[in-house]
Amino acid sequence: MDAPSAFAFWTCAPSWNNVSALSHPRSQTVRQKRTDIRVRDRAVLWRGNTGRQGSRPATISASSSASLASRERDGENLERDSAQDKTRATQMLARLVREIKVLGREFWTGPSAKTAWTWTILTVVFAFLNTVYAVGISFLQRAFWSALSAKDTTKFAKFLKFYVVAIVVGPVVITLYDYMRAKLSLLWRDFLTRSILKSYMSGLAYYKVNSAPTENGYGIDNPDQRITEDVRAVTSQAVELICTVSVAFFDFVLFSIILFRIYPPLFATLLVYSAVGTAVIVYFGRRLVDINAKQLQKEADFRYGLVRVRENAESVAFYHGDAVEQANILSHFGKAFKNNLLLISFQRNLGFFSSSFKYWINVVPSLVIAPIYFKGAMPLGYISQTYFSFFHVLSDLGLIVEKFSSLSTFSAGVNRLHDFRVAIDQLHQQGEHEKETGTLIELTEVSDARAESEPALQIFSLTIEPPGSVKKELVRDLSLSLEKGERLLVSGESGIGKSSLMRVIAGLWNHGSGSVQRAQLNDCMFLSQKPYLTLGLIKENACYPLPEDKFTDEQVREALERVNLSGIDKRLGRLTAQNSTDLSSILSLGEQQRLAFARILLNRPKFVILDESTSALDGRNEQIMYKLMVESGATIVSVSNRPNLEQYHSKLLQLSAHGKWEFRSKGLF
């Protein structure tokens, strides 16, 4: 190939993005990554929780002129926002690095350190081999093109053979590098999932975290998705990001040496070119990171508005709230739309720069090297190597920039995971601290051996404080005792602390002081107002928490009949099901409550807590349930304000304001 045609070959090469997508050894991964990011975006939006707190629906601008005016205002505010956004983006980056370090520390320094470092080193070695392979290819191409332009058939045949060998070896190196990277992130995910799950499932953290105080209010939302989706995305994206930067670094060093050795001004050109490109893109990109983050948040608010209507469709319909809901949802959409406009305008401006920057790669090296080539002082192969090196280093830069603009999504995941981890750790630390300072309620479970001689429930000098508050006392200095088979009715106005007392007896809350003694957890059953239903059918739910094979169909049918649910199996088709069924969306609340009573009949606990568990029942059904409880002989603690329930109880506890209480045997009030 003569010089002009070789030049034409290189200048007809695809643009920067396409080069990186088509000829870069990591193109597959990049394409996969883009898909991952899109999927992740959808996941974040589906959750609808980014920045949800504190978002208030605004009125919608009905006329297009109003919306146009506000868009213009956006343009005016652009400059002022720009400075704030850059600061926010810098803070976000600093926070991201800090949080990633916290999430990775245990994996790389704890008991798994040996495995972690083995795979990290293997990944780095293969990242380096990846670069070495690219360097080798560049030299082969140089020799190949030089032989071609010199019309040297012997050398051409020789380098063609080398080329074939390189084509066979290369994919092995690249594939192994991909594998090492994937394995490293999978091992980290495995470690992080186990570690978080262990922490989450111990010390009732899974329960307490729902109402734990956080910087945004109370409760950590969607722990399930943080443990599944966020851990997966964060571990793979972090490894991906670090590998991209490492490879770019290796590429930059090795190809710079090559360019320097070919012709030092080439190296200087690369340095200036990439430094200017990076500086401009990073400078404006920081703003892009923040606008992207806002877009995620606004889309999430929009989506969340729709999710809430779906979840509360019946209530909205009863209120005829269609117009208000529509206005709220459109208001959120309006904000997402405005931010999106800003985003695409910004991308357009950045695009003017980055596209011309890409196309100049075709010209800049040739401006430096062409004069020497035309003098005949350099073979054509060197030109090809120069282009290869330029494209390679600058496509790395492109990859980094691409990762940079998706940092907001990545950062949101890291942030959510970090907050979750911190909230759980704080709960454990708080528990430890309270144990040490003795500010916890002491709970004793009576063993079977001692059960005969001990009362069914003994409460001594109990003071209850809700979590996160030391000032409020729901119950102060309560002492009482229940013998086996006795039934206690707890009443008091709404919000006074009735359910809190039940939580303390169950062992879910331990804030305060004093002691509680009761039967072991296996002998206790707790029925709330809204019973927990499994995804099984009637039999599984009636037997819960015992497995359904512990009971015959006849036993289950008999229990159902006693709670006035006979025939429900026929109505639903059968007693058991292969597929999961959400009974809570089929059965009425009253039917669900009766099904929960069937559980008591089958499981036969010695101690039962009933927290407004007949609230949805009519008088006749409530009477049936309580008669069954009396017949069962279990010790019962009920929470209710219905006076007609007093007849089924032997003891009464009245809670009142400021932690006051009255405990009487029935008839002594």
Ligand X SMILES: Nc1ncnc2c1ncn2[C@@H]1O[C@H](COP(=O)(O)OP(=O)(O)OP(=O)(O)O)[C@@H](O)[C@H]1O
CB of 193 or CB of 426, closer to ligand X: 426
CB 526 within 8 A of CB 607: no
347 class by beta-carbon count within 10 Å (0-12 exposed, 13-18 middle, 19+ buried): middle
CB of 277 or CB of 514, closer to ligand X: 514
Residue 496 lies near ligand X (rule: CB under 6 A): yes
Please write down the HEC assignment for all residues of 566-599: CCHHHHCCCCCCCCCCCHHHCCCHHHHHHHHHHH
Q: How far is the CB of 549 from ligand X (least distance, A)?
A: 36
Alpha-carbon torsion 189, 192, 195, 200, what sign?
A: negative
Alpha-carbon torsion 9, 12, 17, 21, what sign?
A: negative
By CB under 6 A, which span of 378-386, 428-436, 492-500, 600-608 interacts with ligand X?
492-500
CB of 110 or CB of 468, closer to ligand X: 468
CB of 135 or CB of 475, closer to ligand X: 475
H/E element, 290: helix 264-311
CB 123 within 8 A of CB 188: no
Residue 494 lies near ligand X (rule: CB under 6 A): yes
Can you name the residues that pair with 654 across neighbouring β-strands?
Answer: 491, 662
Q: SS3 for 669?
A: coil
By CB under 6 A, which span of 95-103, 115-123, 461-469, 550-558 interacts with ligand X?
461-469
Pairing of the two strands 651-655 and 661-665: antiparallel
The closest alpha carbon to 103, from 431, 416, 429, belongs to 416
CB 212 within 8 A of CB 220: yes
Q: How far is the CB of 171 from ligand X (least distance, A)?
A: 57
Q: How far is the CB of 200 from ligand X (least distance, A)?
A: 17
Q: How far is the CB of 501 from ligand X (least distance, A)?
A: 7
Percentages helix, strand, coil for the chain, rounded to the nearest 5? 70, 10, 20
Can you name the residues that pair with 516 across neighbouring β-strands?
Answer: 443, 459
Residue 497 lies near ligand X (rule: CB under 6 A): yes
Residue 468 lies near ligand X (rule: CB under 6 A): yes
CB of 229 or CB of 465, closer to ligand X: 465
Residue from 4, 217, 438, 495 touching ligand X (CB under 6 A): that is: 495
Residue 470 lies near ligand X (rule: CB under 6 A): no
Residue from 173, 174, 394, 474 touching ligand X (CB under 6 A): that is: 474
Q: How far is the CB of 505 from ligand X (least distance, A)?
A: 12
Q: How far is the CB of 610 from ligand X (least distance, A)?
A: 13
H/E element, 496: none
CB of 41 or CB of 611, closer to ligand X: 611
H/E element, 488: strand 487-491
Residue 498 lies near ligand X (rule: CB under 6 A): yes
Residue 181 lies near ligand X (rule: CB under 6 A): no
Residue 500 lies near ligand X (rule: CB under 6 A): yes
Pairwise CA distance, residues 177 & 170, whole Å? 11
CB of 226 or CB of 498, closer to ligand X: 498
Q: How far is the CB of 491 from ligand X (least distance, A)?
A: 9
CB of 116 or CB of 459, closer to ligand X: 459
Residue 467 lies near ligand X (rule: CB under 6 A): yes
CB of 50 or CB of 500, closer to ligand X: 500
CA 488 to chain centre: 43
Residue 211 lies near ligand X (rule: CB under 6 A): yes
Residue from 499, 513, 581, 613 touching ligand X (CB under 6 A): that is: 499
CA 340 to chain centre: 24
Pairing of the two strands 487-491 and 651-655: parallel
CB of 12 or CB of 657, closer to ligand X: 657
Q: How far is the CB of 527 from ligand X (least distance, A)?
A: 14
CB of 376 or CB of 643, closer to ligand X: 643
Q: How far is the CB of 514 from ligand X (least distance, A)?
A: 16
Q: How far is the CB of 446 from ligand X (least distance, A)?
A: 25
By CB under 6 A, which span of 299-307, 384-392, 465-473, 544-552 interacts with ligand X?
465-473
Residue from 51, 57, 455, 466 touching ligand X (CB under 6 A): that is: 466
**Cis bond leading into 171, ω under 30°?**
no
**Count of residues engaged in binding ligand X, rule: CB under 6 A:** 13
- Residues whose CB falls within 8 Å of the CB of residue 495, separated by 6 or more in sequence, listed in order: none
CB of 223 or CB of 497, closer to ligand X: 497
Q: How far is the CB of 347 from ligand X (least distance, A)?
A: 44
CB 600 within 8 A of CB 632: yes
Q: How far is the CB of 55 from ligand X (least distance, A)?
A: 23
| Phi (first) and psi of residue 113, to 5 degrees | -55, -40
Pairwise CA distance, residues 163 & 141, whole Å? 8
CB 379 within 8 A of CB 155: no
Q: How far is the CB of 612 from ligand X (least distance, A)?
A: 7
CB 639 within 8 A of CB 475: no
Residue 504 lies near ligand X (rule: CB under 6 A): no
The closest alpha carbon to 588, from 624, 559, 622, 617, belongs to 617
Q: How many residues does the chain have?
A: 669
By CB under 6 A, which span of 188-196, 331-339, 491-499, 576-584 interacts with ligand X?
491-499
Give residues in contact with ligand X (CB under 6 A): 211, 466-468, 474, 492, 494-500
